[in-house]
Amino acid sequence: MKKLFIETYGCQMNVADSEVVASILSNNYTITDDEQSADLILINTCSIRDNAEQRIHKRLRELAALKKRSPKLLVGLLGCMAERLKKQILDEEPTLDFVAGPDTYRSLPNLIEEAAAGEKAYNVLLSKTETYDDIMPVRYAANGVSGFISIMRGCDNFCSYCVVPFTRGRERSRSPKTILDEARQLLADGYKEVTLLGQNVNSYHYEVDGNVTTFAQLMEQVALLSPQLRVRFATSHPKDISEELIRVIAKYPNVCKFVHLPVQAGSTSMLQRMNRVYTREQYLEKIETIKRLVPECAIATDIIAGFCGETEEEHQATLSLMREVGYSYAYMFKYSLRENTYATTHFEDDIPEDLKTKRLEEIIALQQQLSLEHNRRDIGKTFEVLVEGVSKRSEDQLFGRTSQNKVAVFPKKNYKKGDYVMVEIESCTAATLIGHTV
């Protein structure tokens, strides 16, 4: 068997894809974590922001040295950057032997064969139907407790700043049967948590002979597999999150009380330029419904600072919305111009870099405060924590997550990875709950 080293950048969907790739290549390759001894190196890439791509260019230059030492080594580029740059990146980066877009992984054995014969090969065709439905991923990178299942691919939303609809193609859902089979397999392998993945899971829609499965129904079917299997999902688009889904979250104790609902910006005017198709008020109504039906639910978000034409007032509206919702967590970014998106062809990237930085810093500082307040409210309460491993800070402490997706640390005693334990919270930081088992 030859040795394969896969390096994955970007979102969880890329992580799940790398596991599919490992499975497709498993007849000829076993996974290694030592790049020095690899016969094949695959870099699964992300294009979401310019800095994500710059990191990968840098990495490819590093690999050039390794390639010089082992001339038989093949290096392939996968993922969103492969799709965005297509053949151009083969010309620009001499380290690369082949390039494969996100819908072409079944053709990898052929691409590798061509590359081994000395031909620079590429396949970047997007598909309207490919979901890798029948492929059971090789979970080489998982922690054995928490697994991911891709339930759909692509995105049809075309938010004006975003490259994903171009790199991942049209939205398509995978059959409930293969999703449930995969979840059952995780359960049989001892996993305790599964996260259902897609760019916009709320628009999951699978139809066969007139029978439709919605996302809420799928969640329910997965939740019913076992009360010992926690279920999470990511990500939801605010326009599609349904009351039906929120009721499923409320109903099943093993459906985690955590919703990641990216808002991006707090003013209706900005949301309109972003083509998010909801207003500030509509977003807040959805939040209201979540809080009403699932009071213990934590809510997280994504925010972009300094998008085209952002006024001080619009920036303030983002800050005020953050306070109003009281997010437990947020991913926060500076707007990064992406070629060929609607924003690039129709608006100007006119917020100066230092102002983008200033606004982002204000957003981060506020979120820090909101996370701390959110965690402080947990002091004195007891939570069920799924143990993920030994704490980085101390051998005598374990860490895991609450249903609300917060990291909790506590003394180890006789507990181990994969256990559910009850932890009473004594103190906290903005990032961590600290407690003891009861």
Q: How far apart are CA 139 and CA 175, in angstroms?
A: 20
Contact flag: residue 164 with ligand SF4 (CB under 6 A): yes
> Hey, CA dihedral for 145, 150, 151, 154, is it positive or negative?
positive
The partner in contact with residue 10, picked from ligand F3S, ligand SAH, ligand SF4, none with C-beta cut-offs of 5 to 8 angstroms by kind, is ligand F3S
Could you tell me if 128 and 302 are in contact, meaning their C-beta atoms sit under 8 angstroms apart? no
Q: How far apart are CA 139 and CA 143, in angstroms?
A: 9
The partner in contact with residue 158, picked from ligand SF4, ligand F3S, ligand SAH, none with C-beta cut-offs of 5 to 8 angstroms by kind, is ligand SF4
Could you tell me if 315 and 305 are in contact, meaning their C-beta atoms sit under 8 angstroms apart? yes
Chain positions 158 to 197 lying near ligand F3S, rule: CB under 6 A, are 163-164, 167-168
- Which residues are within 8 A (CB) of 353 and not within 5 positions of it... i.e. 6 or more apart? none
With contacts defined by CB under 6 A, how many residues of the chain interact with ligand F3S?
Answer: 13
- Which residues are within 8 A (CB) of 377 and not within 5 positions of it... i.e. 6 or more apart? none
Contact flag: residue 301 with ligand SF4 (CB under 6 A): no
Please select the residue that binds ligand SF4; options are 32, 199, 371, 391, rule is CB under 6 A.
199
Contact flag: residue 14 with ligand F3S (CB under 6 A): yes
- Antiparallel, parallel or unpaired: β 74-78 and 98-100: parallel
Could you tell me if 195 and 233 are in contact, meaning their C-beta atoms sit under 8 angstroms apart? yes
* Tokens encoding 385: 């924590």
The partner in contact with residue 322, picked from ligand SF4, ligand F3S, ligand SAH, none with C-beta cut-offs of 5 to 8 angstroms by kind, is none
Contact flag: residue 236 with ligand SF4 (CB under 6 A): no
Contact flag: residue 158 with ligand SF4 (CB under 6 A): yes
Contact flag: residue 45 with ligand SAH (CB under 6 A): no
DSSP state of 264: B
Q: Nearest Cα to 328, choosing from 300, 303, 302?
A: 300
The partner in contact with residue 149, picked from ligand SF4, ligand SAH, ligand F3S, none with C-beta cut-offs of 5 to 8 angstroms by kind, is none
Identify which range of 109-117, 221-229, 311-319, 329-337 contacts ligand SAH by CB under 6 A. 329-337
Contact flag: residue 341 with ligand SF4 (CB under 6 A): no
Smallest gap from Cβ 301 to ligand SF4, in A, equals 12
- How many CB atoms are closer than 10 A to CB 252? 17
> Footprint of ligand SAH on this chain (CB under 6 A)?
48-49, 161-162, 164, 199-200, 235, 237, 262, 264, 302, 304, 333, 335-336, 338
